[in-house]
Amino acid sequence: EPEVTQTPSHQVTQMGQEVILRCVPISNHLYFYWYRQILGQKVEFLVSFYNNEISEKSEIFDDQFSVERPDGSNFTLKIRSTKLEDSAMYFCASRPGTFTYPDTQYFGPGTRLTVL
Amino acid sequence: AQRVTQPEKLLSVFKGAPVELKCNYSYSGSPELFWYVQYSRQRLQLLLRHISRESIKGFTADLNKGETSFHLKKPFAQEEDSAMYYCALTGGYGNKLVFGAGTILRVKS
């Protein structure tokens, strides 16, 4: 069964550095999402992406964050200048976008980002 | 405001006992409700959604719009049910999921 994949599984970076988290959604899915979960807290929505543009973003998703689908298969989340509070598990998700409402979101295994 | 509340951080039951994981929501429109499960060291995966009205692994959940609840139930817990369970809702453009804080279910033998 196809799965969403994410790389790396764990990323350690210094405060102020840029990081790029990578995701390969399930092929033929049309909607893509990033969520994050700070340790001990709930899973929070960051951004949704459809038709090569952001369709919705949360307050967390400020100018330090950006998303891109550079080549039709990868879906990336970039954090330009990491802060300590960006340390979290980042989940990518994709969904088919069929006419069945709402079709299911499938999650990747997550990338644990540690900012030192 | 969209909000999902799971009041229990941990629910511990014995094998064979009934299970009820509570979920209440706040949403101004007509949301779609889901239960996601995360087994140890695995990814989040959909357990069930209210629109399907299905039973998965013996679990059921009924949407009660009057009480704004979507509690997850299973009549006889099994050890392999031990996991983190998240209630979530979606509604509106983009179909983002709004999650509750999650409940750890621990089934003891």
Nearest Cα to B94, choosing from A21, A59, A53, A106?
Answer: A53
Q: Which of A105, A108, A110 sits opposite B97 (nearest CB)?
A: A105
**What digits encode the pLDDT tens for the residues A65-116?**
999 998 878 999 999 999 999 999 999 999 987 665 557 899 999 999 999 9
Mean pLDDT, all residues of chain A: 93
CA distance A15 to chain B (A): 27
Tokens of B24: 């209440």
Average model confidence (pLDDT) for chain B? 92
pLDDT digits (tens, 9 = 90+) for B69-90: 999 999 999 999 999 999 999 8
Q: How far is A110 from chain B (nearest CA, A)?
A: 7
d(C-alpha B31, C-alpha B47), whole Å: 17
Q: Can you give the pLDDT at residue B92?
A: 63
pLDDT at A27 over 70: yes
Find the CB nearest B98 among A45, A55, A95: A45
Q: Which two tokens stand for residue B91?
A: 């509604």
Give A33's DSSP letter: E
pLDDT at A19 over 90: yes
The candidate with the shortest Cα–Cα distance to B5, out of B20, B23, B28, B21, is: B23
- For B2-54, the DSSP string reads -EEE---SEEEEETTS-EEE--EEE-SS--EEEEEEE-TTS--EEEEEGGGT-
**Residue B18 confidence class, pLDDT cut points 50, 70, 90:** very high
Q: Burial of A88 by CB count in 10 Å (0-12 exposed, 13-18 middle, 19+ buried)?
A: buried
Q: How far apart are CA B31 and CA B49, in angstroms?
A: 11
Residue A72: per-residue pLDDT: 79
Contact call for B49 and A42, based on CB within 8 A? no
Query: Per-residue pLDDT for B13 more than 60?
Result: yes
